[in-house]
């Protein structure tokens, strides 16, 4: 684990190192989950983009992670880049709304165990006026 402690310009942040076994690049801002099943070892991770992945949700990709490579996942604190899913319709997301993993990124919905793994993100800033295409926001990932 990597801890960035509070200083005069940045808040506390917590990161873990994972191995991408998705079969594709994990892009910055995407939700990430432990690879559940036979390869569940606390290191292997996938994009949290399907219902079976959501209970293993651990955090948000800090930067792009190539397939079969290692990279940092942010598991706590202020997150600069959170990819919002393009839900195909115009919705409004406000500051302090909860975000949970979904296909293509995060979407705004009340967190439940099934889609949060007891973790979720709260929107902090850079909120789009209305979401009709994929967009980035910043937010706080809660450690539970």
Give the whole-angstrom CA distance, residue 67 versus residue 91: 32
Mean pLDDT throughout 34-48?
Answer: 86
* Pair 29, 86: CB distance under 8 Å: no
Mean pLDDT throughout 133-139?
Answer: 80
Give the whole-angstrom CA distance, residue 102 versus residue 48: 7
Instruction: Report the first-to-last Cα separation within the chain, whole angstroms.
Output: 16
Per DSSP bridges, beta strands 121-125 and 70-84 are unpaired
Higher pLDDT, 110 or 3: 3
Higher pLDDT, 58 or 6: 58
Residue 22 has pLDDT above 90, yes or no: yes
Q: What integer pLDDT is reported at residue 31 of this predicted model? A: 92
Say if residue 14 is exposed, middle or buried (CB neighbours under 10 Å; 0-12, 13-18, 19+).
middle
Mean pLDDT throughout 26-47?
Answer: 88
Q: Which domains does the chain have, with CATH numbers?
A: 2-141 (2.40.300)
Residue 70 has pLDDT above 90, yes or no: yes
Q: What integer pLDDT is reported at residue 106 of this predicted model? A: 80
* Pair 128, 137: CB distance under 8 Å: yes
Q: What integer pLDDT is reported at residue 72 of this predicted model? A: 96
Residue 132 has pLDDT above 70, yes or no: no
């Amino acid at each position: 684990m990597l801890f960035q402690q509070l200083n005069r310009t940045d808040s506390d942040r917590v990161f873990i190192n994972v191995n991408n076994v998705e079969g594709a690049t994990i892009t910055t801002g995407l939700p990430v989950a432990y690879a559940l099943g036979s390869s569940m070892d606390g290191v292997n991770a996938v994009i949290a983009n399907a219902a079976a992945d959501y209970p293993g949700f651990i955090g948000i990709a800090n930067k792009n992670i190539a397939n079969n490579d290692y990279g940092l996942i942010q598991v706590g604190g202020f997150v600069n880049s959170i990819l919002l899913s393009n839900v195909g319709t115009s919705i409004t997301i406000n500051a302090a709304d909860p975000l949970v993993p979904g296909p293509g990124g995060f979407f705004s919905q009340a967190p439940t165990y099934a889609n949060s793994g007891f973790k979720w993100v709260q929107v902090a800033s850079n909120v789009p006026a209305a979401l009709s295409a994929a967009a980035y926001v910043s937010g706080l990932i809660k450690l539970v």
